[in-house]
Structure 1
Amino acid sequence: MFQLLWILLIGFVLGMIAKLLLRGPQAIPWWLTMLLGAAGAWLGNAVAGWIGVAHTSGIDWTRHALQLGFAVALVALVAPAWTRSRPGR
């Protein structure tokens, strides 16, 4: 149960940071921001494991950078599509 809450919290934080790093407004709801951030975290962890930097001594900066990078990419890709699919809202 706590693992799911942790995933959602990290997803929300990563999604919000991603929205702050991107130019212009991203008119997507908070729940989509959270899901995209969680997906970015999952993809970042997967790639970090694949390239062998998932577990290092100290803070895993590379893993965190990958997580944030994927979250930014997902928000950048999904936000325009979400806005186009909801005209006039």
Structure 2
Amino acid sequence: MELDLKIIIPLISIIIGAVVAFYKMKNEYDKELRKTDKELNNKIHKLEIELEKIKGRDENQQQIINLFQTQILDHLPKIYDLINTTKKIK
């Protein structure tokens, strides 16, 4: 009986230590995972905002191009003819 207690008590303490170390490590891993997840979500949010700004700029540029096409391109043949007539006069 005395020998059994000398073996059982250290064995139990080793098992308890291993279980405590496992849960401590698991808790630290969960904290690190949450931190990384939060950082990545913040980066994604910032990139989405930047993407929206870029889309807005692209839409503005397209509107300017469309406006140019409607106002200038219709008059290009007239301008070309005017240039040719002024060249002929000189």
TM-score using structure 1 length: 0.31
Larger fraction in helix: 2
Rg larger in structure: 2
TM-score using structure 2 length: 0.31
